[in-house]
Amino acid sequence: MESRDIVLCKEMASLLFNEAPEGSCKIILRADLNVSGDVCKFEYDHVNGDGQISWFAPESGAFSHEIGELLLQHRDFFVSQGQPAWVSCEFIVDVEKGKFFMNLKHD
């Protein structure tokens, strides 16, 4: 059985893949969350087959809310495991390799 944080990351990766422009080789989410979790700031980028990076805006109005909820659940899981609460992250989906990476920053 997969750890809760892996399950949440897979859900985020799936949402990002479905929302990113067609032909994206990498999808990058940068997020800042305040400590209480009631304010989140997002930036969405993608890398095309030529290696060019550009931002994209999600078409779904609920997308950022869904991603925010998953990020808060991820952070809460880390806290429940005795880890400090992180305040920002970079989440990268490597479409070509079928992998994701998450870099966390603490205060």
Please tell me the total count of domains within the chain. Answer: 1
Q: Answer yes or no: is pLDDT of 60 > 90.
A: no
| CB-count exposure of residue 59 (10 Å: 0-12, 13-18, 19+) | exposed
**CATH number of the domain residue 92 falls in:** 3.30.500.20
Q: Answer yes or no: is pLDDT of 37 > 70.
A: no
Q: Which residues, 6+ apart, have CB-to-CB distance to 88 below 8 Å? A: 30, 31, 32, 33, 104, 105
Range of the domain at 58: 4-106
Q: Note the pTM of the prediction, 2 decimals.
A: 0.91
| CB-count exposure of residue 37 (10 Å: 0-12, 13-18, 19+) | middle
As a whole number, mean pLDDT of residues 28-57 equals 90
In the prediction, which pLDDT does 69 show?
93
In the prediction, which pLDDT does 36 show?
67
